[in-house]
Amino acid sequence: MKDKILVWDWPTRVFHWLLVACFAGSWITSGSDRYLLIHVSCGYTIFALMVFRLLWGLAGSRHARFASFLRGPGAAVGYVRSLLRGPAAHFTGHNPAGGWAIALMIVLGLITPIFGWITYNEWTGDWAAETHETLAWAFLILVGLHLLGVIVGSVAHRENLAAAMLSGFKRGDATEAIPRAYGWLALVMLIGVGLLWWWSMSV
């Protein structure tokens, strides 16, 4: 029986659930002139969150770093095959397929708000609005695939992956645990991202 260890640091968890809230808020308010300001605010916040996640992927704790979960396409395909054929390969942090989903989410989370910002400021014609909408749909599809992966992974590994992203704890070897105190660097980054968010809202 493996130990219950701390895998996800609090900055990663806060980022994850803020992204869930902002993405949901942006979709609920899309296409509504009445809630346009909320939609725009959610978009700006998503952009700021992705900037933070990009930085945290380079300087964060062990399992939050890109180096720990970004692997080649072959590894991602191999992991999906193991889910379908069994036994499913287990990873303490993100699995290879999930790693690709995260990377794509960061890319879409940076590009989609940029086109939304261009559209909001009416700098170009309809092509920017159409691009923004297309990217948003691609983001939604990716989120759907991510949720499907979470469900399948939870069943295959007999662990609640969504709950782990709330508590930070999963089953694993003690040597793979992260230290609990990992906050000062995240706070510095969050302040910087907060300033970016404030600046973007004021432009």
Domain coordinates in residue numbering, the chain:
3-202
Cβ atoms of 4 and 171 within 8 Å: the answer is yes
Contact 95, 82 (CB under 8 A): no
Two tokens at 105? 């989410």
In angstroms, rounded to a whole number, what is the distance separating the alpha carbons of residues 150 and 161?
6
Q: Phi and psi for 171 in degrees, rounded to 5?
A: -85, 135
Residues 75-85 have pLDDT tens digits of 989 988 888 88
Q: Could you identify the residue written with the tokens 């014609």?
A: 125
pLDDT tens column, 151-182: 988 888 888 999 999 999 998 888 888 886 55
pLDDT tens, per residue, the chain with 203 residues: 567 899 998 889 989 999 999 999 999 998 888 899 999 989 988 998 998 899 889 888 899 999 999 988 889 899 888 888 878 888 888 999 999 999 999 999 999 999 998 988 888 778 999 999 999 999 999 999 999 989 988 888 888 999 999 999 998 888 888 886 556 666 666 666 666 666 655 55
CATH of domain 3-202: 1.20.950.20
Write down the pLDDT at residue 60: 83
Q: What's residue 181's pLDDT?
A: 52
Q: What is the pTM of this model?
A: 0.86
